[in-house]
Chain A
Amino acid sequence: MTVRRRILGAMTRRPALGTASLLLPGGLWLVLFFVVPMLLMLGASVMHRGTYGGVEPGFTLEHYRRFLDPLYLQVLWRTAAWSALATAVCLLLGFPVAWMIAASRRHRALLLFLVVLPFWTSFLVRTFAMIFLLRDTGVINSILMSLGVIEEPIALLYTPFAVLSGLVYGFLPFMVLPIYASLEKLDPALLEAAEVLGARPAARFVGVVLPLAFPGILAGSLLVFVPAIGSFLTSDLLGGARQVMIGNLVQNQFTTARNWPFGAAASFAVMAVVLVAVLLSLRLRDRDRDPARRGSG
C-alpha cells in the first residue's frame, strides 16, 4: 500500500507536464480544423445559396427537401446499394481468405502481409491499375480479343461493374482482417466436439464457425460499407459521368455547381446513412452477445 501511495504521490505532487498541456495542442487543432468545419457545414446546409458559391444568411430547409427529389434519391439509393453489394462480394471473397490464413501454420505471416500490402499502396495508383485493366484497349479486352473470344472490345470501364470492382478491390483487406482475427480465436476443440457428436462439415460450418466468426463479419462489413458510402475516387475515375455516387455529387456542388448549401445537405445525407449502418451493427452485436438468445441455439 505504501509503495502504491508513493507512486501516486510522485505522479500527482509534481505534474511536470500537466494533463492540459498534453491535450491542448492536438485537441485544439482537432476542434479548430475538424469540429468547427463540420459545424460550419451543418450551418451552411440550412442557409441560402450564394450567387458565386458560399452562403447567404437565413434559415431554410429547402436543400434537404430538394434532396427528396427522385433524381437525388436515386443517387443516394445507388450509392447505398452499390456499397451493400460491394460489402457482400467482399464477404464472399474475404471469408475464404481469412479462413485460409487462420488455418495456415507455416505461411501465416506471409499471407497476412500480402493482405495488408495493397492497403498501404496508393489508392490512386490502384484505381489507375483498374483503368489499365478495364479500358477498351486495356489488358482484359486485349487478351479476350487476341484469344478470339470477342470481335471488338466490350465496354467495361465507366460501367457499374467497373465501380463495383473498384470498391471491392479497394476495401477487401478491411473485410479479411477482422474475420481472420475472430477465426484465429476459434477453439478447435469446439469443431472436434461437433464432429464427434456427428455434425457434417456443412452443419459444423453453419452451427459453429459462422456464429463464432459473426463479430468479425460484422466489423468487416462495417469497415467496408462505411468508406464505400463516402467513396469519391473510385466512382470518379471508374464510373465516368453516368455512374455518379453521392461523394461525387457533394464534390460537384462545391466545385462546379457552386451550390454549397445543397452540397452540405447531401453530405449530411451520407453521414446519416453511415450513422444508420453503425447503429444497426451495434444492435446486431449486442443481440449476438445477449446470452438469453444465444442459449436457445
Chain B
Amino acid sequence: MKPAPRWVIGIGGVVYLLLHLPVLVLVLFSFNASRYSVSWTGFTLDWYRALAGRADLWRGLRVSLTVGLLSTVVATCFGTLIALALARRRFPGQRALEGLVFVPLVTPEIMVGISLLVLFVLAGIPLGLGTITIAHIAFNISFVVVVVRARLEGMDRHLEEAALILGADELTAFRTVTLPALWPGIAAGALLAFTMSFDDYVITSLVSGAGSSTLPVVVYGMVRRSVEPTVNAISTIILVGTSLLIYGADRVARTGGPRQLRRIACGAARPRDD
C-alpha cells in the first residue's frame, strides 16, 4: 500500500492522542500534591501512602486475587479440554458446542450477571466468594477456548501423527508432543483469563454479597463517592499491574516457534529400547 495521505495521518495522530491522553493525565495527577484542583502544585507520593492504610482496598485485593487464581485454574483446565475436542475431534453437536462457547462472548455483561443472580437466589446459594468464582469461571471458559484453539490450529498436526505411527499411544503423544507445544497457548489463555477476572466489575458487583467485594467493586465505590487523588493512585497501580500481566501473556504466547516444536517432536519420536 502507498503511504497514507497527510490528512489521514493527521486524523490518525489526533485519535491516538485521544486514545491515550486521558489515562496518561490520570496517572500524572496521581503524583500531584493538590487535593482539589488540577493545577500542578508539586510532586507527592502521599496518595499512594494513603492507600496503604485502607483496609477495604487490601481486603478487595485479597478477594480479587483469590477469585482470580481459582477461576483461572478451573477455567483454563475446562477451556483447554474443550479446545482440544473442538480442534482435534469430530463429534455430533459440534456446531452447537461452538455456539455455546461463542454466545457468552457477545452477551452483554449485565445480562450474564443478572441471570446468574437470578439462578443463585432461586437456588438458595448465598452470595459471596463462591458465587463470584462460579461466575468468573463461566465467563472465562470461552476466552480460554478461543486462545488455546487458535494455538492448536496453528500447530503442525503431522508431529502428533508421527508420534502415533511410531507407536506412542494417544496419551503419550499428547503428553510428549501436543502439550509441550501447546503450553504457550495455555499460559496465554490463563493470563488473559486472570486479567478478565481481575478487571471485571459489572458481573461481579451483581453476584457478590455484602461481605466480599473485589478490588474493582471497592474502587467503583470510591469513584462514586468522591474523586480524590487516591482514586488516581489506585487506578495507576491497577494499570501497571494489568499491563505487566498482558506483557507477560504476550511474551509467553510468542515463545515456542516451529523450531522448538520440531525439537520436542524429535525427542518424543526417538527410537525406544523395548
Contacts and interface: CB of A to CB of B under 8 A. Distances in A.
Interface of A: 3, 6-7, 10-11, 14-17, 19, 21-23, 25-27, 29-31, 33-38, 40-41, 44, 53-54, 93-94, 96-97, 99-100, 102-104, 111, 114-115, 117-118, 120-133, 135, 137-139, 142, 146, 169, 172, 183, 186, 188, 191, 201, 226-227, 229-233, 237, 247, 250-251, 254-255, 260, 263-264, 267, 270-271, 274
B39 A142 contact: yes
A254 B201 contact: no
B110 A31 contact: no
Contacts of A139: 25, 38
A133 B19 CA distance: 13
B85 interface: yes
Contacts, number: 253
Given A7-B164, A7-B165, A122 B242 contact: yes
17 contacts: A30-B104, A30-B141, A33-B119, A34-B138, A44-B118, A97-B16, A104-B3, A120-B243, A125-B235, A126-B22, A132-B232, A169-B18, A183-B1, A226-B106, A226-B108, A230-B107, A237-B224
B26 interface: yes
A233 B138 contact: no
Contacts of B122: 40, 54
Nearest to B222: A128
A100 B12 contact: yes
B11 interface: yes
B78 A25 contact: yes
A52 to B, nearest CB: 11
Contacts of A232: 108-110, 202
A229 B109 CA distance: 11
A14 B169 contact: yes
B19 A96 contact: no
Contact of B8 (A99, A271, A274): A99
B1 A254 contact: no
B220 A33 contact: no
Give the dominant DSSP class at A's interface. Answer: helix
Interface residues of B, number: 86
Which of the listed residues A37, A38, A263 has the most CB atoms from chain B within 10 Å of its own CB? A37
Interface string B1-36: 111110111011001101110110110010000001
A179 B268 CA distance: 43
A114 B106 CA distance: 24
7 shortest A-B CB distances, which residue pairs? A230-B108, A26-B78, A37-B115, A100-B12, A129-B22, A103-B4, A22-B85
B21 to A, nearest CB: 8
Given A10-B170, A36-B119, A227-B108, A121 B242 contact: yes
B148 to A, nearest CB: 11
Contact of B223 (A29, A38, A104, A128): A128
Given A11-B170, A232-B202, A271 B1 contact: no
A208 B274 CA distance: 65
A123 B115 CA distance: 22
A56 B18 CA distance: 50
A7 B161 contact: yes
Interface in B87-124: 89, 91, 97, 100-101, 103-104, 106-112, 114-119, 121-122
B65 interface: no
